[in-house]
């Protein structure tokens, strides 16, 4: 069969997408049962026995309009104060193609007379009216009812595609549909094909209607301020666009479903519709979710599909979030826009779909909602490498979203939650380690916000992340290696009051990290650790010596990663991005480090300055067979920038261990960085290299064994 490229039917705006569905539905139902359609190069391709001219002739001469009525709305044409030009033209027409429409109008008036309704019904009467209409209207009109509204236990509910039951503000869709039909097909003059060819094939035309509303479906045609080079512009609408887009909208049938295992009320389900996530597009703001109805993810497919296949797709199409973990298989329906992106990326959507166009229904023009395109999402050939990382976080992410969007939630928590959702969307698009790092950094920011506001938000801390995060986030950078060394030494206890996956007291003395820069925070960690080490007794000397030799920030575990001396040299020289290093360390601190094996240092081999070697040996090392001894004042002076006094104390300590360090004047351009570098854990394998910077090899004998993890 020949293929017709309908360049007037494109994925964007929403009106053109719906128009493509309307063309396929009407042709398959009324002209060619074998008609099929697909998307290629942003155009809808119709496979049919009809030629282009025959397709135009079909709509002009033989097309039977679907009855659209909305007597539950004001302005529907059924009440005395309504615009009635369209409904009267159809009611008094004798054309055979309008026979189903006339039968539907008669049935509606019969129901209204029986219920005694002379004006728009109130909320309670509206539900009763819809129940009567479902039992009285012809079958040809029920598809519209299913697409426009649905009856649930709580009353009427409205899918976002058709506003509030086929109504958007002062625009009533069904009445305007009847008016456009009357102008196109019931006028005294012979209908011209030019507007129809423009709607179908994108051909230029004249005769567009001014000051006619098209609603939320085509924002560029709605007119208004800044819609043209001048100050204002009237709306310009092709009436065929309006007629055909509503014909396509009836393929979306809402339903009320109740899961068998749930005792809750009925919930509205609508094809590929989720709660709005106001992230992932340029104009996103914190107020968007309050001014958004929902999100609609519209599928695009490249292989021709018939009407029956599309009906199955829109009635049964799935979007499932994969919750696979520890070999078990489970999933749940996508609830938010971020969920849908996860489902798309992890092949949790109906097969055969190549991509999705994401739409949000946002307030963008006064109080009017506009269907705003929010981007294109391609379905990958295989599941994403990284999205499976989110499965263990799924329950916590839902909990966080509820807390962050609750009334009275701190603004800092809302901002951090939005940054996290943005990073989750980016993770669904990218397989780069930087995308995993961005999620880790955002999780660290969220936990910091929760720690400040947990007495208000009552949100749980971030659960420990599995070791796979470390592998996926590793980009081999200097900052990542140093951040992993810090995080593996128990940094989380210095950042937030968390222990064992739960909050501790708000005044937990272990928490010393503030809004100061990285260097001052590392100094604070060192000084706090010295205070905690001050209570060591002789019975604990063996364990204390092991701790001291390794270096750590918290007394709950041994370090799992060690810093390479060359990396520390780069840090001391100021060749690191300290802001990125701190952000990465905060995010990596969320890992379950207890389940990770010890990692040998791998990094640069440039030696650090001898001043660092002297201080590190005095603090972290003691000869075999001797007990580790504290050096009061050493860290205090080093963190205060007085490296000369600190070095004198360090030489004295090493002489006490039997190691004579030649006296020399250290030239230290960055004493604060030297002191901060002491916070990074070092392996025993680094000790001979440190000692070689101070003492000739023939004068020393260092053979300290590597401690058992």
Q: Where are the domains of the chain?
A: 3-62, 64-191, 259-387, 388-471, 476-699
For the stretch 515-569, pLDDT in tens is: 999 999 999 999 999 888 874 433 344 444 444 333 444 434 567 789 999 999 9
- Which 3-state string (H, E, C) describes 355-407? EEEEEEEEEEECCEEEEEEEEEEECCCCCCCCHHHHHHHHHHHHHHHHHHCCC
- Which 3-state string (H, E, C) describes 642-696? CHHHHHHHHHHHHHHCCCCCCCCCCCCCCHHHHHHHCCCCCCHHHHHHHHHCCCC
For the stretch 46-69, pLDDT in tens is: 999 999 999 999 999 999 999 999
Output 668 or 497, whichever has higher pLDDT: 497
Cα 340 to Cα 260: distance, rounded to the nearest angstrom = 23
Query: DSSP string spanning 5-53?
Result: EETT--SSSHHHHHHHHHHHHHHHHHT-TT-EEEEETTEEEEE-SS-HH
Output 584 or 155, whichever has higher pLDDT: 584
Q: Annotate 631-664 with b (16+ C-beta within 10 A) or e (fewer).
A: beebbbbbbeeebeebbebbbebbeeeebebeee
Tokens read off for 415: 């901002």
CB 50 within 8 A of CB 128: no
Cα 527 to Cα 518: distance, rounded to the nearest angstrom = 14
Cα 380 to Cα 391: distance, rounded to the nearest angstrom = 19
Instruction: State yes or no: pLDDT of 420 exceeds 80.
Output: yes
Q: Which stretches of 221-328 are DSSP H helices?
A: 239-249, 307-316
Output 215 or 319, whichever has higher pLDDT: 319
For the stretch 102-154, pLDDT in tens is: 999 999 999 999 999 988 888 888 989 999 998 999 999 999 998 998 887 77
> What local confidence, expressed as pLDDT, does residue 549 receive?
39
> What local confidence, expressed as pLDDT, does residue 225 receive?
53
Query: What residues contact 16, with CB distance under 8 A and at least 6 apart?
Result: 8, 9, 10, 218, 241, 245
Burial class of residue 400, CB neighbours in 10 A (0-12, 13-18, 19+): buried
Instruction: State yes or no: pLDDT of 274 exceeds 60.
Output: yes
CB 39 within 8 A of CB 305: no
For the stretch 431-477, pLDDT in tens is: 899 999 999 999 999 999 998 876 555 778 999 999 999 999 999 99
Output 476 or 291, whichever has higher pLDDT: 476
Cα 191 to Cα 447: distance, rounded to the nearest angstrom = 65
Mean pLDDT, residues 367-388 taken together: 82
Output 401 or 500, whichever has higher pLDDT: 401
Instruction: State yes or no: pLDDT of 222 exceeds 80.
Output: no
Instruction: State yes or no: pLDDT of 669 exceeds 90.
Output: no
Output 385 or 57, whichever has higher pLDDT: 57
> What local confidence, expressed as pLDDT, does residue 556 receive?
43
> What local confidence, expressed as pLDDT, does residue 453 receive?
78
Report which of 65, 72, 107 is spatially closest to residue 86, judged by C-alpha positions.
Answer: 65
Cα 54 to Cα 44: distance, rounded to the nearest angstrom = 17
For the stretch 32-41, pLDDT in tens is: 999 999 999 8
Output 548 or 246, whichever has higher pLDDT: 246
Cα 149 to Cα 144: distance, rounded to the nearest angstrom = 9
- pTM of this structure: 0.84
Cα 554 to Cα 66: distance, rounded to the nearest angstrom = 71
Mean pLDDT, residues 230-250 taken together: 81
> What local confidence, expressed as pLDDT, does residue 565 receive?
93
The mean predicted confidence, pLDDT, of the chain is: 84
Alpha-carbon distance values, 394 to 331, 433, 577 (Å): 10, 21, 32
Q: What share of the chain is helix, strand, coil (3-state, %, to 5)?
A: 45, 15, 40
> What local confidence, expressed as pLDDT, does residue 544 receive?
42
Report which of 690, 605, 616 is spatially closest to residue 650, judged by C-alpha positions.
Answer: 616
Report percent pLDDT > 70 for the chain: 84
Instruction: State yes or no: pLDDT of 45 exceeds 60.
Output: yes
Instruction: State yes or no: pLDDT of 589 exceeds 90.
Output: yes
CB 418 within 8 A of CB 437: no
> What local confidence, expressed as pLDDT, does residue 574 receive?
94
Output 421 or 625, whichever has higher pLDDT: 421
Instruction: State yes or no: pLDDT of 187 exceeds 90.
Output: no
Report which of 133, 170, 138, 167 is spatially closest to residue 151, judged by C-alpha positions.
Answer: 133
Cα 697 to Cα 678: distance, rounded to the nearest angstrom = 24
Flag the least confident range among 70-84, 109-123, 282-296, 594-608.
Answer: 282-296
> What local confidence, expressed as pLDDT, does residue 693 receive?
85
> What local confidence, expressed as pLDDT, does residue 233 receive?
54
Output 321 or 578, whichever has higher pLDDT: 578
Cα 25 to Cα 31: distance, rounded to the nearest angstrom = 10
How far is C-alpha 352 from the chain's CA centre?
24
Q: Kindly indicate the confidence band of residue 692, based on its pLDDT and cuts at 50, 70 and 90.
A: confident
Q: Kindly indicate the confidence band of residue 237, based on its pLDDT and cuts at 50, 70 and 90.
A: confident
Taking the CA atoms of the chain, what radius of gyration do you get in angstroms?
A: 34
Query: What residues contact 97, with CB distance under 8 A and at least 6 apart?
Result: 62, 63, 64, 65, 185
> What local confidence, expressed as pLDDT, does residue 672 receive?
94
Flag the least confident range among 156-165, 266-275, 626-635.
Answer: 266-275
Flag the least confident range among 76-90, 154-168, 357-371, 465-479.
Answer: 357-371
């Amino acid at each position: 069969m020949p293929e017709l490229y309908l360049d007037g039917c494109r994925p964007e705006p929403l009106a053109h997408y719906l128009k493509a569905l309307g063309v396929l539905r009407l042709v398959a139902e009324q002209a060619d049962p074998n008609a099929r359609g697909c998307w290629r190069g942003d155009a809808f391709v119709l496979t049919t026995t009809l030629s282009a001219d025959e397709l135009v002739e079909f709509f002009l001469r033989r097309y039977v309009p679907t009855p659209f009525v909305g007597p539950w709305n004001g302005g529907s044409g059924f009440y005395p104060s309504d615009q009635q030009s369209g409904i009267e033209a159809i009611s008094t027409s004798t054309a055979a193609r309008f026979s189903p429409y006339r039968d539907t109008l008669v049935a509606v008036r019969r129901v209204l007379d029986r219920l005694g309704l002379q004006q728009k019904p109130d909320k309670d009467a509206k539900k009763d009216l819809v129940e009567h209409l479902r039992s009285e209207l012809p079958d040809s009109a029920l598809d519209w009812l299913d697409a426009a509204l649905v009856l649930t236990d709580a009353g009427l509910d409205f899918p976002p595609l058709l506003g509030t039951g086929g109504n958007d503000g002062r625009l009533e869709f069904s009445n305007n549909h009847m008016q456009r039909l009357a102008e196109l097909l019931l006028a005294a003059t012979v209908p011209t094909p030019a507007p129809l060819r423009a709607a179908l094939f994108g051909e230029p035309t004249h005769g567009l209607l001014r000051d006619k509303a098209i609603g939320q479906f085509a924002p560029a045609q709605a007119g208004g301020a800044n819609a043209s080079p001048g100050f204002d512009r009237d709306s310009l609408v092709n009436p065929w666009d309006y007629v055909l887009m509503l014909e396509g909208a009836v393929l979306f049938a809402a339903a009320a479903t109740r899961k068998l295992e749930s005792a809750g009320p009925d919930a509205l389900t609508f094809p590929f519709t989720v709660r709005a996530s106001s992230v992932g597009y340029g104009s996103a703001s914190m107020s968007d979710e309050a001014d958004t109805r929902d999100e609609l993810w519209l599928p695009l497919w490249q292989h021709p599909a018939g009407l029956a296949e599309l009906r199955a797709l829109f009635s049964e199409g799935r979007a499932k979030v994969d919750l696979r973990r520890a070999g078990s298989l489970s999933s749940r329906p996508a609830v938010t826009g971020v969920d849908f992106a996860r489902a798309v990326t992890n092949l949790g959507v109906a097969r055969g779909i190549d991509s999705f166009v994401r739409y949000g229904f946002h307030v963008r023009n006064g109080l009017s909602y506009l269907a705003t395109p929010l981007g294109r999402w391609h379905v990958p050939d295989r599941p994403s490498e990284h999205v499976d990382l989110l499965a263990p976080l799924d329950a916590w992410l839902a909990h966080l979203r509820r807390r962050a969007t609750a009334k009275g939630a701190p603004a800092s928590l809302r901002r951090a939650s939005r940054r996290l959702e943005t990073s989750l969307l980016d993770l669904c698009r990218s397989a780069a380690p930087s995308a995993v790092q961005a999620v880790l950094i955002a999780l660290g920011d969220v936990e910091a916000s929760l720690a400040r506001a947990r007495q208000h938000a009552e949100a749980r801390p971030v659960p420990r992340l599995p070791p796979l995060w470390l592998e996926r986030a590793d980009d081999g950078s200097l900052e990542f290696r140093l951040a992993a060394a810090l995080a593996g030494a128990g940094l989380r206890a210095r950042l937030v009051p968390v222990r064992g996956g739960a909050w501790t007291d708000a005044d937990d003395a272990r928490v010393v990290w503030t809004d100061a820069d990285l260097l001052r925070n590392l100094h604070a960690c060192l000084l706090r650790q010295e205070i905690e080490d001050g209570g060591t007794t002789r019975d604990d000397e063996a364990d204390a010596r092991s701790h001291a030799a390794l270096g750590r920030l918290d007394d709950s575990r041994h370090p799992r990663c060690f810093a390479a001396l060359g990396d520390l040299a780069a840090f001391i020289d100021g060749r690191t991005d300290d802001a990125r290093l701190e952000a990465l360390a905060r995010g990596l601190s969320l890992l379950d480090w207890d389940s990770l094996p010890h990692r040998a240092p791998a990094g640069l081999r440039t030696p650090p300055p001898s001043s660092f070697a002297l201080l590190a040996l005095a603090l972290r090392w003691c000869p075999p067979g001797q007990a580790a001894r504290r050096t009061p004042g050493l860290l205090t002076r080093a963190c205060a920038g007085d490296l000369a006094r600190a070095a004198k104390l360090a030489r004295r300590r090493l002489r006490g261990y039997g190691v004579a360090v030649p006296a020399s004047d250290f030239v230290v351009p960055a004493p604060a960085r030297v002191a901060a570098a002491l916070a990074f854990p070092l392996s025993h394998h680094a000790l001979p290299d440190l000692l070689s910077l101070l003492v000739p090899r023939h004068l020393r004998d260092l053979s300290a064994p590597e401690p058992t993890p």
